Structure 1
Amino acid sequence: MDSIITYLLIYNQYLINIIGELLLFISQHIPLKQMIFDDSNSPEYQKFKIDKLPTILKFEKVDYKLLLAYYKHKYNKTVKPVQRRNGKSIPEKIKCPKCGAPHEYIYDNNGNKGQYKCKICNLPFKETNYATKPTVFICPYCGATLTEQKQRKHFKIHKCNNSKCSYYKKNLKKLPKNLDSAVKYKYKLHYIYREFNINFFKMDLYPISKHATGFSFKKFNPHIMGLCLTYHVNCKMSTRQTAHVLKEVHGIKISHRTIANYALTAAAVIKPFVDTYNYKPSKILSADETYIKVKGIKHYVWIVMDACKKSILGYQVSDTRATGPCILAMRMAFDKFKKFPGKALNFVADGYSAYPLAKQQFELEENKEFNLTQVIGLTNEDPVSEEFRWVKQVVERLNRTFKASYRVTCGYGSDEGALYGFSLWVAYYNFLRPHPYNYHRPLNELDALNIADNMPAKWQILISLGQQTILHMQESKTS
């Protein structure tokens, strides 16, 4: 017995020595400083890091004649033109960019080196001064003026090029010591701000489609339309499969093109009701994006859902994975709150940079602040992922549910068809689909649907509710 204990103790010491040698090897040969440079040690990922908002200076013009009258009224004195000495003068074309004062009231501020100063509004300026720009962005770390670096489709990239900026120096120190200077450009070192040139907060979230018209059935009736939607959406059948089932089971001969037209028109009518319904959401939202195909080209579906009640609150279909569609989907979701919860709202998404950019725009344009939690990776390697992984998995499970219905379409034929096809599925998911979460009942139970004893009748009632919503929206716009 004593020999076994002695052997285990010796073996334990051997393992401790091996662990110590491994730790020594790691500290000598693996650049651990690279790990603390950012959330990920991939140079490509660091380029998408979102910095805090800059200091924004908005240039406002005034009239020098009003200022002269104000000085006369307040001090009972007249502002006299600048008295030149030694025969010095400035060009007559020089005017103050702020108040418009003529050259008689402009000082030569630095000995004929190009800087001027207005005697009326005390603005120092140059001919190429930023004071002529409507908006100026200032680095929040060093106070330098940001310069426009690149032009993208929906935004401009402004960069702080000050080599003495504290933000730049701090990031420079975190680089590995043996890093080649030729590779330094791959890392995000300077402060960057993205200025959007499109205001996504003024776009209409609930436009009424041209397809939202009345139904005229020459050959069929509303019940057959309800059958088409039931097989096509509920049973996840393609339009051709739906036409085949209607012919073989019900003896109804209808073309797949007519079924597609029914689905498009029904989606356009139901969509306003689905988008404006009072879901009474919780304060935990989850977001994700998944891809679809439109004419064989990759498009994206943005989804924002209530993580607790499981309802889909906001969605958008876009041909790019840019920030704009993300903002619109988030606007649709936030619009469901009668009173925005602010910091009490927890918005959970993946590590994609569009979400912090959208959050920044909400703070800047709408003065809405909320908590954004980004769950990065597929495993719980950090406390944040471990705590909020379940929220991310809710929307991931929703994506798989949607893809099961989407695969039978083999892609959409147009952008509008993709949007209304997904909105029709959202109507089914939120109001008709039985959910185990809600004891195999729909997520949002409508009293109007309780009188219907079959699914085609429920689709007809949803269409009726959509028509009532459209009429109400039209009356509101008219009034």
Structure 2
Amino acid sequence: MSPIITYLIIYNQYLVKTIYQLLQFIAKYIPLKQWAFDDSKSPEYQKFKVDKLPRILHSETVDYHLLIAFYKYRDNYTLTPVNRKKGASINEDIMCPKCGAPHHYIYDNNGGKGQFQCKVCGTTFKEKNRFSPLALNCPYCGHTLEAVKHKKHYRIHKCRNLKCSYYLHNRSKVPKDCSHKELSNYKLHYIYREFTVDFFKMDLYGLPKRAMNFDFKKFNPHIMGLCLTYHVNLGLSTRRTAHALEEVHGIKISHTMIANYAMTAAAVIKPFTDTYDYKPANILSADETYVKVKGIKHYVWIIMDACKKSILGYQVSDTRAVGPCILAMRMAFEKFKVFPGKALKFIADGYSAYPLARQQCLLEKGWDFDVTQVIGLTNDDAVSKEYRWVKQVVERLNRTFKASYRVTCGYGSADGALYGVSLWVAYYNFLRPHPHNYWRPLNDLDQLQGINNMPAKWQLLIHLGQQTILQMQKNQTV
């Protein structure tokens, strides 16, 4: 090797080492301006940061006819409608939210900017929330919250008071040289999210939307079990499964038929998987990963029993919002016959949808538990050191799932993604041998005892799913 090349390699290694030392120095002694504020590490990541609940004041309603009669009795005075200036008027459908007085008794309180005052009871209100039966107040300063945004599943209420202690505390942490435009990257005001969709009334265990036909004209249940064994257990794609069946068993079957078999089996087995009594422990681990549906990123939410390793809750969604997180929590928590409350240890990453979902579980169902968030990849704090193993359990599960998912090259529809994940969950919980359980399935089913071939186990699992569907139909008709 030429001496000049040797010299350049050595010099290049020296430069790399110097750059590494400089990066360490910058990270340790010169923190970036964005790191100076807790919530600014990723404004998009912190958009679901949860503040404590607001003060809710219920307004007491009264009939304006009774008030007018009372004024007549007490003061011998008849309350007349508002005497407006010539040409001035307000919308006829505006009425007082407290006493129900019509627009004849309503003042335009700020010159057409949306604030009104009732002449009968004196209530001041805005057009946006004139029919609201309750008032939301900031828990720090008592200022009335204002609805500022309407999202798909919730409304955002914000405290606009610039003298609020919560705002002043957060404002003092912002770097002094931060421009007014950069302030939008920081969460300064108190906010509350009022959900407009009740995720606790959604049906998690609905029956299949389409009828499932098990009349095999050309093949038989054993061949269907072979298809599921190659496709799910061995992680082969539908085309490779068709090729293996032809090469090994001499069965000519199309990959489309195999996909239809998988979709049918998933739809039938899913009710059994979702309603099985797993007898979970009090340590749950949650995480989310992504899959592709028609080339577009979708998310898979998984909540598992960290001790017994069973998957208790899962959802597939096109967004990383809090709604699917709530549904996955519901599916997992309903596996408990008696909710453990504060004894439950719920471990998740730093994504802030989990605390918000926890708040909704407390409001709607009374499920009071704490969310422990393990942040980062290194054990830099006491929480990470204690619960890192729980987080690693679900991370390992994600890698196991992605290993079987990669061969599919993505899903063709959202329903296909949900059924594909549910089929894999059924295999993982009931059929897959685990070293944790001495190379036996996590949940031993009595119906599968003594059966040594996997196609027959799939057939019996489908039978159990059919029995569960019949029982659910029977319960619906009662």
Q: Give me the TM-score of the superposition, normalised by structure 2.
A: 0.83
- Contact between 2:106 and 2:118, CA under 8 Å: does it hold in 1? yes
Q: How does 1:148-159 map to 2 (within 5 A)?
A: 148-159=147-158
Q: What's 2:388 paired with?
A: 389
Q: How does 1:218-237 map to 2 (within 5 A)?
A: 218-237=217-236
Matching of residue 38 in structure 1 with residue 38 in structure 2? yes
Q: 1:134–1:274: structure 2 CA closer, same or farther, 3 Å change rule? A: same
Identity of aligned residues (%): 69
SS in 2 for 1:230: helix
Q: Which one-letter code corresponds to 1:300 in the other structure?
A: Y
SS in 1 for 2:149: strand
Matching of residue 56 in structure 1 with residue 49 in structure 2? no
Q: What's 2:73 paired with?
A: 80
Count of residue pairs brought into register by the alignment: 439
Q: 1:117–1:209: structure 2 CA closer, same or farther, 3 Å change rule? A: same
Supply the distance in 1 between the matched residues of 2:40 and 2:389 (Cα, whole angstroms).
22
Matching of residue 252 in structure 1 with residue 245 in structure 2? no
Which stretch shifts more, 325-334 or 32-41? 32-41
Q: 1:36–1:178: structure 2 CA closer, same or farther, 3 Å change rule? A: closer
Question: Larger Rg: 1 or 2?
Answer: 1
Matching of residue 437 in structure 1 with residue 436 in structure 2? yes
CA-CA distance at 1:37 after TM superposition = 3.8
Supply the distance in 2 between the matched residues of 1:116 and 1:266 (Cα, whole angstroms).
63
CA-CA distance at 1:192 after TM superposition = 1.2
Supply the distance in 2 between the matched residues of 1:114 and 1:325 (Cα, whole angstroms).
39
Q: What's 2:197 paired with?
A: 198
Q: How does 1:42-441 map to 2 (within 5 A)?
A: 42=42, 45-59=45-59, 61=61, 63=63, 80=73, 83-84=76-77, 90=82, 97-100=97-100, 115-116=117-118, 118=120, 124-125=123-124, 128=127, 130=129, 132-211=131-210, 213-441=212-440
Matching of residue 473 in structure 1 with residue 472 in structure 2? yes
Supply the distance in 2 between the matched residues of 1:96 and 1:159 (Cα, whole angstroms).
23
SS in 1 for 2:316: strand
Q: 1:245–1:314: structure 2 CA closer, same or farther, 3 Å change rule? A: same
- Contact between 1:130 and 1:136, CA under 8 Å: does it hold in 2? no
Q: Deviations over 1:56-76 (max 9, x none)?
A: 2344645567x79xxx9xxxx
Supply the distance in 2 between the matched residues of 1:441 and 1:308 (Cα, whole angstroms).
15
Q: Give me the TM-score of the superposition, normalised by structure 1.
A: 0.83
Residue segments in structure 1 that go unaligned for 5+ positions in a row: 1-24
Supply the distance in 2 between the matched residues of 1:32 and 1:253 (Cα, whole angstroms).
62
Q: Which one-letter code corresponds to 1:80 in the other structure?
A: Y
SS in 2 for 1:381: coil
Supply the distance in 2 between the matched residues of 1:102 and 1:241 (Cα, whole angstroms).
72
Q: Which one-letter code corresponds to 2:73 in the other structure?
A: K
Q: 1:81–1:262: structure 2 CA closer, same or farther, 3 Å change rule? A: farther
SS in 2 for 1:244: helix
- Contact between 1:154 and 1:196, CA under 8 Å: does it hold in 2? yes
Supply the distance in 1 between the matched residues of 2:295 and 2:235 (Cα, whole angstroms).
20
Which stretch shifts more, 124-133 or 411-420? 124-133
Q: CA-atom RMSD, angstroms?
A: 3.2
Which stretch shifts more, 43-52 or 157-166? 43-52
- Contact between 2:140 and 2:165, CA under 8 Å: does it hold in 1? yes
CA-CA distance at 1:214 after TM superposition = 4.1
CA-CA distance at 1:172 after TM superposition = 1.4
Q: Deviations over 1:373-412 (max 9, x none)?
A: 1111111111111111111110000000001110111111
Q: Which one-letter code corresponds to 2:287 in the other structure?
A: D
Q: Which one-letter code corresponds to 2:359 in the other structure?
A: Q
Residue segments in structure 2 that go unaligned for 5+ positions in a row: 1-24, 85-91, 110-114
Q: 1:402–1:329: structure 2 CA closer, same or farther, 3 Å change rule? A: same
Q: 1:253–1:126: structure 2 CA closer, same or farther, 3 Å change rule? A: closer
Supply the distance in 1 between the matched residues of 2:216 and 2:106 (Cα, whole angstroms).
80
- Contact between 1:243 and 1:256, CA under 8 Å: does it hold in 2? yes
Q: Which one-letter code corresponds to 1:169 in the other structure?
A: L
Q: 1:239–1:146: structure 2 CA closer, same or farther, 3 Å change rule? A: same
SS in 2 for 1:223: helix
